[in-house]
Structure 1
Amino acid sequence: MAIATMESQSSHHGAMPTAPYSARPPSPPSVVIPTPIMTDASECIKIVPTYNNVDPASLSVGDLKIITQNHKEQLAQDSAFGWTYECRRTAQPILDFLYLGPSSIARDRKWLRDNGITMLLAARDSRHAGVHLMANLELVQELGIQAEYVDVANYNELIHAFPSAIRKINDHMLNVFRGQRLTNTNVQLGDEKMAIPTGEIRRGKVLVFCETGNDRSAGVVVAYLMSVFGMSMVEACQFIHFKRFCVGLSEDLRFLLRSFEDILVAQRTVHRHELSFLPNPVHHSPSLAKKAKRDFRDTLDDDDEMGGTDETTAADYERFNNRPTFVPFIDAQHEDTGRV
């Protein structure tokens, strides 16, 4: 929108603006993903999963250990070196169990078999929900691969689909592991004690894809890194770009991921606060935590910190003492208003 001149902006009341201005709504600031500062081309971004950054309502300590293989560190080296145009037509391992790529790779029998993929997660347009992006359902059945879908019409629906997509990935990883514990006596499970013998446990591997592997599916993977690894939105975007150089998240998708990050931080804070009220929070669900309703006396400490005086405190007591209980709703049959 063109910016109006100062002459055209003069008011009928005689007021004159001191500078040009626009009548359009203000635009939100851009979400900038800075390039990581690396001192050497061989330097890597390293992330180590920790339970301190995970929402306790979504994963337990033991579940996180199973999914991340006892908190195994993940490395990402700048993929710009050695990247070719053909690389965008295949999939790259963002994590050692999570791949990102285009829909064409989901139909590659050899690639799926060679990389041990156990689940396909398609992030697709809901208008194509009736069309299988895998194109050959027999291939999925032949390889014994689980197929899941995240159907969204736009980015606004995508933010609501993130929790479901993250849960699908986590549930699959846990189911693949737990399906072997009855046949492998070397697996030890406990509340916080678990050993995964290297080379003896078959782990699940998930391919997340959309048409290009650079749009909705990339957003799902970034959301997964934020949720399970506790990464910030900027850190997750930098990590995924180091793994798959052709990923270019649109401005709208970056805004969406920033909003999802705020939701995760809020949920994590609330659930950890609720757990603090339990005698043994490690072994209980946060839904069992109950916070006592704030009492009037609790506000007095706040007044003192804000410089309250004895006079104001006395006035508060006069206002609250002997006040009848307020009930916002009562049964209609008990109400007698006297109206005709």
Structure 2
Amino acid sequence: MSGDTVHWPRPPTFGETPIRLCVPIWTHEDRYAGQPIIPHLLLGPYHLVRKREFLEQNRIEHILCIRDPSELRFLRATDATAAFTFMDVPADVTKVSIIPYFVQANQWLAQVIAREQNVLVCCSDGIDKSSAFVAAYLMSTYGLKALDAMTFILNQRYCATPSANGYRIKLAEYEPICAAQRSAACKEDGADGLKNSRKRVDEEEAGGDEMNSENSPQNGNSGRKVASFSYKRAR
């Protein structure tokens, strides 16, 4: 990929299912590279943070590194031009709820991507932890089921494989939570629409023919406010 043009895959259609596996041309060496997943988001192994040429060619401005306590000593910030952000997760995800970590990472990624800044999401090998977090982002943002989110990622990075007894289970647990959040958001938008409709009726009754387009109701705002989260950062 050149620095002038990063060839981003087309993002999934909201709620698309099933997403079929289209096995890409893939070699063993490809697992050591980084692949674009959706516009402004790449997935790959940690060693890429030391590859200045890769970071510059792909215009990487942010690095989100997923690591557990055993990796703190060697998955560290470097002198890369990109800003480092670390998500420190428990070593054994089978014994804890990883959902809050998904939510925090999703909020952060949403902010970065909304600014059209490129981010590399990585873990030690770019196979387990980081692919699970990217899948969680796709589930939350595009309304995908866990299996469809992982299939979409596999079509770009064929080695991406969340652990069967760990992150894969957590993604399955996250699926109904995402569905419930979408349902609640739809109800909230519906309530806002009803409130705006009532407000318009009141304004029409009060102002008669003097009402102009500035008084017309606005569409319900489906964009949710993104809460900030304090991550460990280093330049």
> Aligned pair in 2 of structure 1 residues 233, 134: CA closer, same or farther (>3 Å)?
same
RMSD, matched Cα: 2.6
TM-score under structure 2 normalisation?
0.70
Unmatched segments (≥5 aa) in structure 2 = 1-8, 16-20, 197-218, 226-235
Relative contact order (alpha carbons < 8 A, sep ≥ 6): 1 or 2 greater? 2
State the 1:173 CA deviation: 2.5
Contact 1:123/1:216 (<8 A) preserved: yes
Distance in 1 separating the partners of 2:63 and 2:56: 12
Structure exhibiting the larger radius of gyration computed from Cα positions: 1
2:183 counterpart letter in structure 1? T
Residue type of the partner of 2:187?
Answer: H
Match of 1:78 among 2, 23, 33: 23
Judge conservation of contact 1:103–1:134 (CA < 8 Å) in 2. Answer: no
Q: CA distance change for structure 1 residues 237 and 215 in 2, over 3 Å: closer, same or farther? A: same
Instruction: Give the structure with the larger helix fraction.
Output: 2
Kindly state the Cα deviation for residue 208 of structure 1 after the two structures are TM-superposed.
Answer: 0.4
Runs of 4+ in 1 over 3 A off after TM superposition: 45-50, 126-129, 283-287
User: How many correspondences in the alignment?
Assistant: 185
TM-score (norm 1): 0.50
Shift of 1:283: 3.9
1:150 to 87, 99, 107: 87
Counterpart Cα distance in 1 of 2:49 and 2:151: 25
Encode CA deviations 1:177-213: one digit per residue, 9 max, x unaligned.
3xxxxxxxxxxxxxxxxxxxxxxxxx31110000110
Taking the aligned partners of 2:52 and 2:224, their CA distance within structure 1 comes to 43
User: Partner residue of 2:220?
Assistant: 282
Counterpart in the other structure of 1:96: 39
- The equivalent of 1:167 in structure 2 is 107
Query: 1:98-131 CA distances to partner (integer Å, 9 max, x unpaired)?
Result: 11111111111111011111110001003444x4
Deviation of 1:285 (Å): 8.2
| Separation of aligned partners in 2, 1:110 and 1:285 | 36
For structure 1, which runs of at least 5 residues remain unmatched after alignment?
1-44, 54-75, 178-202, 288-340
Alignment of 1:130-209 (within 5 A): 131=73, 133-136=75-78, 138-139=79-80, 143=81, 145-153=82-90, 154-155=92-93, 156-174=96-114, 177=115, 203-209=116-122
1:90 to 1:269, Cα distance in 2 relative to 1, 3 A? same
Residue 94 of structure 1, CA deviation:
1.1
